[in-house]
Every structure is written in structure tokens, then in C-alpha cells.
Amino acid sequence: MSSPTPSTLRVGRRYRANRLDGPYDAIVIGSGIGGLTAAACLSKMGKKVIVLEQHYTAGGFTHSYDRNGYEWDVGVHYIGDMGAKHTLARRLFDYVTDGKLQWAAMDDHYDRLFIGDRQIDLVAGPEAFAKELKSQFPGEEQAIDSYLDYLSLVAKAMPGVTLAKVLPNLMAGPFRYLARRKAPDFLNRTTREVLETLTGNQELIAALTGQWGDNGLVPDDSSFIIHALIARHYLYGGYYPVGGASEMAKTIIPVIQQGGGEVFTYADVKEILVENGKAVGVRMADGQAIHAPAVISNAGVFNTFGTLLPDHAPHKAFYQNKLGQVQRSMASVCLYIGLQDTAENLA
């Protein structure tokens, strides 16, 4: 059997040492959506940023590939909160793409669940969402309304909870107080525990947690706060980037280039350079050293603290010990199928 033809969908510029155009204000390792967003925001601040991606195309889980005339996305299936320009998520995408990334609304029935022989649709909009579930689960109206109230309570508590965690201790005090006042007591209980205080109907719980794959943990193990944030994110339906998921990287990269930066592919970083306890650059697989006063790793916490940082990096042993306590999440398998027919004939 012959090898599949390589994908022709490529985003980014191929790395060569002679294409470097330093000095750079910051180096970003990895071109996933986090790395691209960080680079674009820094570029907006007038910084010259280089993004180094070891894959053949930029974008991380937002990239697409093609095979035999078909095109697939590897990670993006739908995104919520894109229907109105005032939402935080939409404003963030508009900011890092200069408003170039466009969105198409999916069908109002944005998710379809199968529980045994039952089909349950999740419908866009809080009222339609509740109405559909109430029609499927008569007698559970109070539980469904309370569930939606819980999602709102979590959303209202999040600003204080987040700021209390990320700000320095001296500044975080008022926000910790706010978090204690605003945060409901069920915030950090498991999803199943919280839902079982609302209903004993296990099929309804299954329907409410049908999106558990989006956070990687089953309801017995996931924190309700994460479940609530994801469920609320999709409450107004799903949206898809016009042109496919690869348009995310395609529209962010020009913003990075506006500041003189670049996104390189086939750029294999082997080590973060650390001097006097501070990251000062990276060393590439070809031996090339690239220096910058700031190094941002979007290569994942295990790669960063397990492989990229040298042994003399401050606190490396501490973080490796912490990572040893992290349990793996659920695995998943994606099957990509190409169908040759019209959308109408395929229904």
C-alpha cells in the first residue's frame, strides 16, 4: 500500500537559519492557538515576535489537512459565543485577526445525543434549549431551570475566582473576598455530584453532560466549574470559521508580521537557553541559537518542564514533581470519512 499524499494545506513560512531577522523581542515555542494569540497580542504592543513550530504547518489543533480531494480539521468542530460581536470570545478573535476571521452559524440543533434508542437535540438559545429538554423529560422542569441558573452563577463567579488566582498575593486579596462571596458552594464539586442534587434522572444527567468529551473527563471526575463554563459557552449555539479551521492561523499570522515578526514551520526547538536563572533564548535542532528577552512556551507543560528546560533551570525539579501527580485524561479517537455526494442527497 502506498503512503498517503502529503497534505498541501500549509500555513507559515519554512524555517531556515538564514531567514531569521532578529533581534526579536520575544520567542514563542509552538503555534497552537495560545502561542499565536500571545504573539499577536505582543505584536499589537509593538513587539517583534518569532513563533517556532516543529510541524509542517502552523495552527496546532486549529490546522486542517487534505487527502484525495477531501479536507478535514483536526480539532475544531464548533465554537460558541461567536454570534454577537460584543461577546468576549468574539472580541478576542477580532482583536488578534484585525477582524478578518469570519464566522458561520451552524444549525440551531448544534448537538445531537443518542442515549440508547433515544435521540436528544441540544438547541441554540437558553429558552429553546430548556424547551427541548423539558419536552424530552416531562416532570423535570424544575431541575432543568435550576441547571441553567447554576450555569449563570458559575459565570458570575468567574471574574473574581480567576483574578484571585492569577494576580500577585498583595493584589489578589479583594478578589479572593469577592470570590468567596460570589462563588457558589458547589463550584469545585464533581459534575455528577452537583447534578444529582438537582435530579435523580440518570438519562437527564447524561443529556446535560453529553458534551463531556470537550473537557476530557467523565462527569464522575470533572469539576463542575469546567463543565458549566463549556456548557454555557455553547448555550447560544455553535459557529464555524468560514473557510475552515486553518483560517484561524491564516488570519492571525499577518498581525504577527505587522510587528516585524514571523511564524516558522519545520522549526524544531531542542532547548530553552537559561542564564543566571532567566530564559534568554532557544537552541534549534540545527544548532542555531536565537536570543530574546522573553521566551513563551506553547509546547505543553510536559514538553516544557520535561524536555525543553535544562536541569539547572530554577524550580525544574519542583514542577516535575508536581507533574508526576497529574493523572491522564480520557483518550479519544477521531475517524474521518469522505462522502461523495451532495449535501441534499446525503441529508
pLDDT at 7 over 80: no
For residues 239 and 108, give the distance between their C-alpha atoms in angstroms, rounded to a whole number.
10
Domains and CATH numbers, the chain: 1-105+242-347 (3.50.50.60), 107-237 (no CATH)
Q: Which residues have a Cβ under 8 Å from the Cβ of 181 and sit 6 or more positions away?
A: 160
CB atoms within 10 A of CB 118: 11
Contact 204, 137 (CB under 8 A): yes
Angle CA(254)–CA(260)–CA(264) in degrees, nearest 5?
65
Amino acid at 159: P
Q: What is the pTM of this model?
A: 0.86
Q: What is the DSSP string of 266-320?
A: S--EEEEEEETTEEEEEEETTS-EEE-S-EEE-S-HHHIIIIIS-TTSTTHHHHH
Average pLDDT over residues 126-140: 96
Least confident of 22-36, 165-179, 194-208, 249-263: 165-179
As a whole number, mean pLDDT of residues 35-48 equals: 97
pLDDT at 1: 43
How confident is residue 280, by pLDDT bands cut at 50, 70 and 90? very high
> Which amino acid is residue 298, in one-letter code?
N
